[in-house]
């Protein structure tokens, strides 16, 4: 057997590749001009926010001045009437100030703004972010909720510019928050919030009373809902990868917008829209579907090396219908964790918000891995659960590993005979193929037999790849040196930023890369030994040997910013796989017995199936045609 060594040319090649990568990383780092441009953009954003605040202050001051004006101030009255029409009444009330109403439940601290009637702040009381700061889903103007409508006197108004009158009452354990935009004491547009004491979801109703003669029924009432997602995790690039818009439409179908810089989609019969921010989600659910919804997702992370406040900007526009000239839309708000157990408890198909994988991958996660994890986590720490789950999965998949190894062993035993056939028919490719297939058929071996077991394992591995990053229970749970299994672990800080790698060294990906190196060294060596060299075909052994070094390097770069729980799984999985293969090789499979079995099979008459007969006939016909063409020449 060929001794596995790297010659001097290979070493020089790897050194050159690494040097080129380092040069490219250095060459692509931001210039001083680019950094200055980024700083200028930040400054412009701050100035724009200041300008907006000044405009709001001016508007508030003008409304307060009007409220305090005397009844004889006819000029101000006429100006406001011309601007707001019937809704000018709301600006004359004491509530026409830019104040907020604070309401607390077991889950939230909420603030409702008089201006616009919507939530100005949503704080989740049970959670903190990576800096131990409270989790805010809405704060400092990152959200907008607005109704844009036309009136019968040809005005276009926006609720975000108008003042609502707040009231808070109790209905048993339920806290009822009413925000009314009044035309008169008995005519108004109302946002009604009904909060339960220990629930992340609460009822939300938009309704009107006595406005049938004010709404222009020929024009739609557009609901605009925008949100800029706050960063909550240590790695903004990793968090942003799982931040997206998910929606349900047409009676139970679900889809998402994707991860492009700008994603847009228009859907019909939309029943919920979720602004998912990896581990926290804001969802608007409708009891009766919106006819259409136009959704947008804007990526706000231009450079993950820059400390960024927001991940993505979400926007949705939905038309609302009048019934008898009035508005009455019942909905629900969900502000809470992206946790499978919590979301499924509502029986509203919200588990689709979780990126568990499509088709069989999602099925494996829902009915195998999630129940398994929930059971084990009832009495074990999360890190131990990951290790135990990995052991269980590898043991269950060991028969498949055995089948793959057995196929490789058969191919190694047959390699001398395949080489002999190649030499004997080196000038006749068709005959060489026929004899090779005949040998495989008689021996009961197939070069594809080793691939099929590997393909069978892919759904399991991909399901786990989706499961660990989506598992809310791993968030801020420590294990060994990792302080958060849902984020990367840090054992060393680098004084510079390496593109695609970061500015830190994570140990779990490093260990996983080492384990993958030894695993590939073992399996690639066996594959090279079992694969015969075909005439006219490139020698794949050199390429496979290079992959032994390239794959761990890719793993190291790719997973350095991934969840340490996922890297822990790959590390343990490859260690166990190496152990299983060593046991199979040294104690279960005997190549001498395999060789004797193959020779025995070759003596037995082999009945060909219809497919094999057809292939044989086609190859014989092709051979006859080739010989006929050669005779003509």
| pTM as predicted | 0.76
Instruction: Report residue 37's pLDDT band, with 50, 70 and 90 as the boundaries.
Output: low
Instruction: Report residue 388's pLDDT band, with 50, 70 and 90 as the boundaries.
Output: very high
Distance CA 176, CA 112 (A): 12
Residue recorded with tokens 């080196």: 426
Confidence (pLDDT) at 552: 82
How confident is the model over 158-177, as a mean pLDDT? 93
Q: 212 is written with which tokens?
A: 């049938």
Confidence (pLDDT) at 287: 92
DSSP-based three-state secondary structure for 437 = helix
With beta carbons less than 8 A apart as the criterion, state whether 136 and 230 touch. yes
Q: 497 is written with which tokens?
A: 């930023």
Distance CA 294, CA 268 (A): 9
Residue recorded with tokens 């602004």: 275
Average pLDDT, the chain: 79
Residue recorded with tokens 């043991």: 395
How confident is the model over 475-489, as a mean pLDDT? 89
Confidence (pLDDT) at 59: 44
How confident is the model over 514-533, as a mean pLDDT? 67
Residue recorded with tokens 């190859």: 619
Closest CA to 258 of 214, 296, 209, 287: 296
Evaluate if residue 158 carries a pLDDT over 50. Answer: yes
Instruction: Look up the CATH number of domain 69-355.
Output: 2.70.98.90
Distance CA 146, CA 30 (A): 39
* Phi, psi angle pair for 448, to nearest 5°: -85, -15
Confidence (pLDDT) at 63: 46
Confidence (pLDDT) at 62: 43
Strands 201-209 and 221-230: unpaired
- Residues with Cβ within 8 Å of residue 507, at least 6 apart in sequence: 481, 489, 491
CA 195, 290, 198 angle in degrees (round to 5)? 15
Confidence (pLDDT) at 90: 85
Evaluate if residue 86 carries a pLDDT over 50. Answer: yes
Distance CA 609, CA 476 (A): 58
Q: 439 is written with which tokens?
A: 């040998």
With beta carbons less than 8 A apart as the criterion, state whether 529 and 337 touch. no
DSSP 354: S
With beta carbons less than 8 A apart as the criterion, state whether 505 and 492 touch. yes
Closest CA to 376 of 368, 22, 129: 368
Confidence (pLDDT) at 3: 38
Evaluate if residue 26 carries a pLDDT over 50. Answer: no
Highest mean pLDDT range out of 242-246, 496-500, 595-599? 242-246
Instruction: Report residue 6's pLDDT band, with 50, 70 and 90 as the boundaries.
Output: very low
Domain ranges of the chain: 69-355, 370-603
Highest mean pLDDT range out of 363-372, 444-453, 528-537? 363-372
505: left (phi over 0), alpha (psi -120 to 50) or beta: beta
Question: CA distances (Å), 153 to each of 158, 231, 290, 322, in order?
Answer: 15, 44, 27, 18
Evaluate if residue 393 carries a pLDDT over 50. Answer: yes
The percent of residues in the chain predicted with pLDDT above 90, rounded, is: 33
73-82, 189-198, 421-430: least confidently modelled range: 73-82
DSSP-based three-state secondary structure for 174 = strand
């Amino acid at each position: 057997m060929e001794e596995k060594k790297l010659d001097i040319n290979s070493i020089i090649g790897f050194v050159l590749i690494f040097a080129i990568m380092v040069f490219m990383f250095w060459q692509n780092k931001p210039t001083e001009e680019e950094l200055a441009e980024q700083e200028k953009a930040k400054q412009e954003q701050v100035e724009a926010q200041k300008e907006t605040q000044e405009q709001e202050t001016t508007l508030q001051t003008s409304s307060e001045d009007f409220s305090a004006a005397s009844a004889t101030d006819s000029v101000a009255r006429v100006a406001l009437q011309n601007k707001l029409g019937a809704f000018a009444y709301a600006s004359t009330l004491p509530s026409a100030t830019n104040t907020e109403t604070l309401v607390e439940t077991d889950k939230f601290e909420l603030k409702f703004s008089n201006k616009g009637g919507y939530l100005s702040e949503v704080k989740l009381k049970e959670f903190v972010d990576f800096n131990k700061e409270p989790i805010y889903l809405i704060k400092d103007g990152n959200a907008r909720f607005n109704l844009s409508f036309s009136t019968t006197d040809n005005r276009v108004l926006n609720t975000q510019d108008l003042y609502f009158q707040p009231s808070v009452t109790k209905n048993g354990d339920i806290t009822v928050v009413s925000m009314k935009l009044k035309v008169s004491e008995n005519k108004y547009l109302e946002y009604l919030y009904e909060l339960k004491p220990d629930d992340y979801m609460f009822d939300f109703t938009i309704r009107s009373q006595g406005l049938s003669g004010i709404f222009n029924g020929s024009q739609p009432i557009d609901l605009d809902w925008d949100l800029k997602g706050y960063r909550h995790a240590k790695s903004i690039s990793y968090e942003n990868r799982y931040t997206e818009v998910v929606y349900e439409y047409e009676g139970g179908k679900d889809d998402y917008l994707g991860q492009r810089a700008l994603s847009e989609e228009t859907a019909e019969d939309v029943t919920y829209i979720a602004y998912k921010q990896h581990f926290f989600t804001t969802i608007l659910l409708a009891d009766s579907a919106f006819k259409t919804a136009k959704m947008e997702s804007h990526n706000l992370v231009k450079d993950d090396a820059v400390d960024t406040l927001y991940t993505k900007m979400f926007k949705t526009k939905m038309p609302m219908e009048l019934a008898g000239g009035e508005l009455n839309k019942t909905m629900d708000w969900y502000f809470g964790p992206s946790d499978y157990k919590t979301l499924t408890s509502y029986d509203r198909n919200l588990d689709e918000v979780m990126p568990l994988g499509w088709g069989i991958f999602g099925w494996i996660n829902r009915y195998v891995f999630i129940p398994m994890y929930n059971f084990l986590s009832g009495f074990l720490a999360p890190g131990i659960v990951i290790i135990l789950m990995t052991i269980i999965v590898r043991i269950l998949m060991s028969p498949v590993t055995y089948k793959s190894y057995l196929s490789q062993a058969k191919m190694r035993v047959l390699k001398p005979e395949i080489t002999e056939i190649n030499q004997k028919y080196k000038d006749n490719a068709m005959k060489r193929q026929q004899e090779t297939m005949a040998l495989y058929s008689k021996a009961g071996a197939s070069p594809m037999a080793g691939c099929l077991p590997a393909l069978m394992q892919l759904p399991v591995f991909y399901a786990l790849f989706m499961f660990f990053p989506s598992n809310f229970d791993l968030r801020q749970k420590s294990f060994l040196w990792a302080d958060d299994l849902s984020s990367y672990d840090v054992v060393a800080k680098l004084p510079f930023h390496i593109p695609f790698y970061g500015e830190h060294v994570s140990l779990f990906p490093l260990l996983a890369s080492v384990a993958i190196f030894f695993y590939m060294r073992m399996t690639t060596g066996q594959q090279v030994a079992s694969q015969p060299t075909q005439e006219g075909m490139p020698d794949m052994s050199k390429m496979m040997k290079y992959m032994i070094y390239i794959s761990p390097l890719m793993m190291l770069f790719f997973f350095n910013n991934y969840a340490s729980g996922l890297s822990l799984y790959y590390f343990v999985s490859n260690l166990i796989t190496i152990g299983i293969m060593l046991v199979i090789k040294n104690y279960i499979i005997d190549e001498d017995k395999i060789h004797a079995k193959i020779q025995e099979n070759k003596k037995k008459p082999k009945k060909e199936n219809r497919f094999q007969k057809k292939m044989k006939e086609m190859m014989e016909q092709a051979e006859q045609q080739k010989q006929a063409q050669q005779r003509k020449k």
